[in-house]
Structure 1
Amino acid sequence: MIDAPTTKEIAPVASFKIRGLRWWIVGLVFLATLINFIDRLTISVLAPVITQQLGLTNLQFASITTWFLVAYAASQALSGKLYDRVGTRRGFTLSILVWASAAMAHAFARGLASLSVFRFVLGLGEAGNWPGAAKVVAEWFPARQRALGMGIFNSGVCVGFIVATPLIVWLQTQFGWRTTFLFTGGLGFGWLALWLLLYESPERHSALTDEERALIQQDRSSSTTTRKMGWMELLKYRQVWAIVLSRFLTDPVWWLYVTWLPLYLSRVRGFSLTQIGLFAWMPYVAADAGSLMGGWASGRLIRHGWTTNKARKAVIIVGAIFMSFGVPAALANNAMLA
């Protein structure tokens, strides 16, 4: 009798080696992040159409967004533990199965209740992208390159915005908003096929060269030899509170753009849906450049002798200063100037 292979034994098979495989791996995570934000942004871009057809007020649309954020916050806190328990490969598979299915389900929404449920489930799945992507970078990159790796996959957020807005508007004008949700949600299943075909840990990936494996693992003993910590113990560290506080202050600004920019352009600036598709992606070009430049700059400062702590804080401070330019943009009388 021949025993069937277990899930753990199934891995991508390669009879050749790929130089620089870690960059292909982070590119795969970049693509997942891009799809993640296309799925997330679809309802925002289509908000002028959906709110009109389903008879939703601004307050009701806000409540739909709130359900997404509640699920997102809860899932982001728990997804890291899921990835630690089941591994990166299985964890990402579960996350994208949930969010892609929920994204497609939006096509069948009939009103406030159904949209709220679908957004809630979408939030549960989409939150897993970030702990999963961070775990991939930690597993596949040496410490000195991790900031750049994080910058690369994070740039998928902004590229997702750049691609999503005109794509979603085009799909809406050609096929309607329900078909648009089916298409954008279906992208996740296409990515999942690539993920299952190509991804495995560095220790088990047969296409990884010996030289790159040695590079990845060169500081592994000092950077990943850790013990498990509980929530209460984590809260004793000021670094944890610094991260929580920074996200508490910056995330509302980010989500303001993510959720309300298309509706703002439509109802306040008088943009048509076509004009939204032409212009709403522009703020994210700068955000995309900032993501890549931030990762590159912190790595360069470290190579020039700065401590990791000092280099990354310097980049964060510069980014915070640039955020303040959103205030005069909101006050500008001319839409193009804003």
Structure 2
Amino acid sequence: MKIKGLRWYIIALISLATVINYIDRSAINIMWPYIYKEFGITTADNKNALALITTFFMIAYALGQTFTGKLMDAVGTRLGMTISIIGWSVSIALHSFAKSLLSFNIFRFMLGFSEAGNWPGATKSNAEWFPVKERAIAQGIFGAGASLGSVISAPAIAFLYIVFGWKMTFVFIAGLGLIWVIPWLIINKATPDKHPWLTEKERNYILDVNTEAQTQVDEAPVLSWKELLKFRNTWGIIMARFFIDPVWWLFVTWLPTFLKEQFLFDIKQIGAFTWLPYLFAAIGSLLGGYHSSWQVKKGVNAVKARKNSVAIGCVFMLLSLLAIVYKLDDLKAEPGLAMVLIGLTLFGFQFLIGNLQTLPSDYFNGKNVGTVAGMGGTAAVVGTLLTTWLVPVMTKTSYVSFFVLAAVLVPITWICIKYITSKRTIHS
């Protein structure tokens, strides 16, 4: 049996895994403003408690990014992604047994470590299944999964919470990942060079077997973390992820709390409003991938195309964040406009992040892509941890500093990409 366009089935499954990933991780942030009192936590301490829960998740996520990057390079994406999603499905189910803040922290740590594998796994899978000119599109589809997961999670989690309560909500969403494993193992039987369902035309298109570059990739050595850190491109990716990813996580973690405090939303209203910014983000992810891939097809160097798209995303983010800072007090009476401006911020983020996440596959060969992607993911988590603990302090009286912080991080990211990474594709 042969399947035309098999690579698109693979990326569809990767994107679906990312949807599930974000539903699972978002659940606690959506429900937290309404369940924290069940654990004896006061209103005054609830932000610090959420910051602590997020910290346990992010520390594990940082460790997991680095470890699972190596795991994907060692065992391949088929087995690596299977291990990852089973791990996080079990972890999210265990949340239903939480009795205290401590047990929540333990289960969040488990979730963070296992969920981390989705990103280096997806980046490596895209490098395996897509030629250079299509990788940003593939990364955009995968990235859209994160946004779609957030679009779906807000109304879905709100509904499940209202009907079944928070414990059964965790149980229901845990089943999604376990179901996903079945089609993944059936369809993703092997890598493109060995997959029995792949047509020869598509196999040759993916592998580009006649190019000198492919020969260089096949012969290139597997590098250690220490060796990879000798490249300025590695540092550029690490630093850019360190500065830009916290902006996304500021909203993923704190948007429901912001809406409750700024607009006095109940959980039904959060379910009704919170999905909108992530719809913008999903569109940004797809357009960002299309934009750079379109440039590559027109003959633009792949790295330059990615950087051009990163620049456009930064512009959207910076302008929308500055608008929020300027109009924040007025926005208290206009929650719809606030959601649109936040949506434009997340549109810009997703427009650029898929291209930033594609750079490891542009700069390095397939044997090192997962590792570099994991290192970048680890840096992203470290940056997020630092900003997470700033939020309870910064937002005691106003959220202005929250948005100012996000705005400051954007141009710093562009400087890292513009002046630290090189201009040309390099296979190490």
TM over 0.5: yes
State the TM-score, normalizing by the size of structure 1.
0.92
Question: Take 1:318 and 1:138, find their aligned partners in 2: how far apart are those partners?
Answer: 24
Contact kept, 8 Å, 2:20 with 2:176, in 1: the verdict is yes
Aligned-partner residue type, residue 244 of structure 1: I
Residues 207-228 of structure 1, C-alpha deviation per residue, up to 9 Å, x if partnerless?
A: 1111111111115334454211
Q: Does 1:154 align with 2:139?
A: no
- Out of 27, 30, 35, the position equivalent to 1:50 is 35
- Out of 18, 22, 25, the position equivalent to 1:37 is 22
Aligned-partner residue type, residue 279 of structure 2: V
Contact kept, 8 Å, 2:30 with 2:157, in 1: the verdict is yes
Using the TM superposition, give the Cα deviation of residue 97 of structure 1 relative to its aligned residue in structure 2, in angstroms. Answer: 1.3
- Out of 290, 294, 311, the position equivalent to 1:300 is 294
Question: Take 1:35 and 1:42, find their aligned partners in 2: how far apart are those partners?
Answer: 11
Distance 1:224 1:327, change over 3 A: farther
Using the TM superposition, give the Cα deviation of residue 303 of structure 1 relative to its aligned residue in structure 2, in angstroms. Answer: 1.6
For residue 332 of structure 2, what is the aligned residue in structure 1? Answer: 333
Residues 248-276 of structure 1, C-alpha deviation per residue, up to 9 Å, x if partnerless?
A: 11111111111111111112220110000
CA-based RMSD: 1.3
> Aligned residue pairs: how many?
323
Question: Take 2:233 and 2:203, find their aligned partners in 1: how far apart are those partners?
Answer: 30
Structure 1 segments unaligned to the other structure (5+ residues): 1-15
Using the TM superposition, give the Cα deviation of residue 327 of structure 1 relative to its aligned residue in structure 2, in angstroms. Answer: 3.8
Aligned-partner residue type, residue 17 of structure 1: K
Question: Take 2:323 and 2:173, find their aligned partners in 1: how far apart are those partners?
Answer: 34
Q: Does 1:27 align with 2:21?
A: no
Distance 1:203 1:58, change over 3 A: same
Contact kept, 8 Å, 2:49 with 2:101, in 1: the verdict is yes
For residue 186 of structure 2, what is the aligned residue in structure 1? Answer: 197
Using the TM superposition, give the Cα deviation of residue 336 of structure 1 relative to its aligned residue in structure 2, in angstroms. Answer: 2.4
For residue 175 of structure 1, what is the aligned residue in structure 2? Answer: 164
Question: Take 1:34 and 1:74, find their aligned partners in 2: how far apart are those partners?
Answer: 22
What is the percentage of aligned positions where both structures have the same residue? 44
State the TM-score, normalizing by the size of structure 2.
0.73
For residue 77 of structure 1, what is the aligned residue in structure 2? Answer: 66
Aligned-partner residue type, residue 185 of structure 1: A
Matches within 5 A, 1:77-96: 77-96=66-85
More helix by share: 2
- Out of 284, 302, 305, the position equivalent to 1:311 is 305
Question: Take 1:93 and 1:187, find their aligned partners in 2: how far apart are those partners?
Answer: 13
Structure 2 segments unaligned to the other structure (5+ residues): 339-428
Question: Take 1:196 and 1:24, find their aligned partners in 2: how far apart are those partners?
Answer: 12
Question: Take 1:246 and 1:151, find their aligned partners in 2: how far apart are those partners?
Answer: 18
Using the TM superposition, give the Cα deviation of residue 305 of structure 1 relative to its aligned residue in structure 2, in angstroms. Answer: 2.1
Residues 28-56 of structure 1, C-alpha deviation per residue, up to 9 Å, x if partnerless?
A: 11100110011010111111122132233
